Amino acid sequence: MSELKGIPVVAEAAHVRSGEKYLTPQGFTAVRDGIKAPRGASRAQGLTPAQGLTPAQGRPPAQRLPPWLRARAPIGAGFHNVRALVREHHLATVCEEAHCPNIGECWNAGTATLMLMGAVCTRACRFCCVDTGNPHGWLDAEEPENAARTVELLKLRYVVLTSVDRDDLADGGAAHYAACVRAIKRRNPQTAVEALTPDFRGVPADVATVVDSGIEVFAQNIETVRRLTHPVRDARAGYEQTLGVLAHAKRRRPAVLTKSSLMLGLGETDEEIEATLADLRAARVDLVTLGQYLRPTLNHLPVQRFVTPGEFDRYRERALALGFLECVSGPLVRSSYRAEQALNRNNAGLENSRLAR
């Protein structure tokens, strides 16, 4: 183990615990799960991803999860097939990097959300467990064709592309993102593409690069209410910045659907939720998703409350009354969850009333 500015750096990523620095295969350092461990914290104090671990192994000390937040274990032939394809083509998925609780359901259904431009983000939002670091301009030149080939092999009619923030790139990675979209469209012309993008620092030209690439849906997540934007999100992100990105995307290409997402359970009030939904509609956002925030590691923000299935139904009704085309709302909903069903006008097939039983 070497040191960088007095901080131990683990050379083999397989042995890295949450909050530790490690050396990536590309030669730059990153922090596992995005948030550094508090000074003096021991490896035995639970600095590992929380998903699937016992309390002794690292589950954050919080209330017992309510029954409606229990997801199925990621097993099955479909799951293993998607994982093999992702590994073969050296792709990252937000399903894995963000420890999504729906990975079993989605991968068994043959769908996955591809995460472009690597698995290391230049930002460190306190809700997110994607690794953070400075890739120093690194990009995989083969990623556009690899992504297109994976979409073809999975026979996807709808694919969600997301990415890490890449503040180390002059355009935030917009040109690379657009190249991936175009490659997918060339090989899979009938596949609809949803781009769940970073904010590109709010630069209109970079937003336009992605909006003009041939996508059907442009998404940028506002994540939380105005009051909680900081410290929930990285200081380089912003409530108004996200609204501006979404508004510009809609002005640029009115036919492209725009979409955003809110995590609930971070301490927001009902009034703040409604105000955020109203702000999104004022920016002409078409689709919105609402889901429960779950603390990924001890280093991340704690859950303030578990929103009930009935409350999610109530928030959905309010969003629809404000004029959204659809609001997919439920405890395990994530921004790309059942994205291809977003216009079915049935909460993407979710029945929250059953979850509460």
**At residue 71, does pLDDT exceed 80?**
no
Measured between its terminal Cα atoms, the distance across the chain in Å is 50
Nearest to 337 by CA among 158, 81, 132, 129: 158
Is 14:5 a contact under the CB 8 Å cutoff?
no
**At residue 185, does pLDDT exceed 70?**
yes
**At residue 98, does pLDDT exceed 60?**
no
Q: For 33-54, what is each residue's pLDDT tens digit?
A: 899 887 765 443 433 333 333 3
Residue 121 parent element (H or E) = strand 120-121
Is 160:336 a contact under the CB 8 Å cutoff?
yes
- Classified as helix, coil or strand, 259 is strand
Q: Which amino acid is at 245?
A: V
Token representation of residue 151: 């979409």
Backbone angles phi, psi at 121, to 5 degrees: -95, 145
Token representation of residue 157: 């009619």
- Cα–Cα distance for residue pair 22/10, rounded to 1 Å: 4
User: Who's near 117: CB < 8 A, 6+ residues apart?
Assistant: 135, 139, 140, 143, 163, 164, 166, 173, 176, 177
**At residue 182, does pLDDT exceed 90?**
yes
**At residue 86, does pLDDT exceed 80?**
no
In this prediction, residue 58 has a pLDDT band, given cuts at 50, 70 and 90, of very low
Highest mean pLDDT among 11-25, 77-91, 164-178, 341-355: 164-178
Taking the model in full, what pTM does it have?
0.84
User: Who's near 259: CB < 8 A, 6+ residues apart?
Assistant: 194, 196, 217, 218, 219, 285, 286, 287, 288, 289, 335, 342
Q: What angle do CA 234, 236, 237 make, to 5 degrees?
A: 70
- Cα–Cα distance for residue pair 181/221, rounded to 1 Å: 19
- Cα–Cα distance for residue pair 215/200, rounded to 1 Å: 17
Q: What percent of the chain has pLDDT over 90?
A: 57
Q: Which amino acid is at 83?
A: R
pLDDT score at 155:
82
Mean pLDDT of the region 181-193: 95
Written as one string, the DSSP assignment of 305-334 is ----HHHHHHHHHHHHHHT-SEEEE-TT--
- Cα–Cα distance for residue pair 161/138, rounded to 1 Å: 19
Q: For 201-250, what is each residue's pLDDT tens digit?
A: 999 999 999 999 999 999 999 999 999 999 899 999 999 999 999 999 99
Is 196:219 a contact under the CB 8 Å cutoff?
yes
Mean predicted lDDT score pLDDT of the chain: 83
- Cα–Cα distance for residue pair 199/244, rounded to 1 Å: 9
